[in-house]
Amino acid sequence: MSNDIEEKLRQIRIEDFIWVIYIGIIALSYYSNYLERRYYVSGDFISKDKYRNIIILIFSILLIVYFYFLYDSYKSVKDLKVNDSEKKKRLIYLSFLASLLIFISGSIFLYIAFSDTDLNVELAFN
């Protein structure tokens, strides 16, 4: 098997693992919504603290995932060859830009999750 195919298969295995991580994040998000609702309905400060900690955990995990995709996109940019088509170059640069912006937004959301102790800002990672 060629090195290119082996590399693609390795990337697909990593992406499969990331999908499992996303399933876990969905479950954590569902539970954090329950805790947030409980805090707003009953004023339960323990639920508030658990909610914030889960949100911080979620965005920390997402930031690691986003960093992987940013790094992978960066590697694609570095692997471009002079004779690659202009379309391929443009799409790879756009993919890198998108990954960079997603990483930046994840960093901002994580900062908000740490800073907003009163739960004034609704965080969404869509």
Cβ contact 32:55 at 8 Å: yes
Q: Which two tokens stand for residue 43?
A: 């004023």
Domain count, the chain: 1
State the pTM of this model.
0.86
Q: Is residue 124 part of a domain?
A: no
Q: Is residue 61 predicted with pLDDT exceeding 50? A: yes
Q: Is residue 103 predicted with pLDDT exceeding 70? A: yes
Cβ contact 63:103 at 8 Å: yes
pLDDT (mean) for 12-22: 95
pLDDT at 74: 97
Cα–Cα separations (whole angstroms), residue 57 to 3, 15, 48, 60: 36, 20, 14, 5
- pLDDT confidence bin for 126, thresholds 50/70/90: very low
Question: Whole domain around residue 76: which residue ranges?
Answer: 3-115
Q: Is residue 56 part of a domain?
A: yes
Q: Is residue 95 part of a domain?
A: yes
Q: Where are the alpha helices (DSSP H) in 1-126?
A: 3-42, 45-78, 86-115
Q: Is residue 63 part of a domain?
A: yes
Q: Is residue 120 part of a domain?
A: no
Q: Is residue 42 part of a domain?
A: yes
- pLDDT confidence bin for 37, thresholds 50/70/90: very high
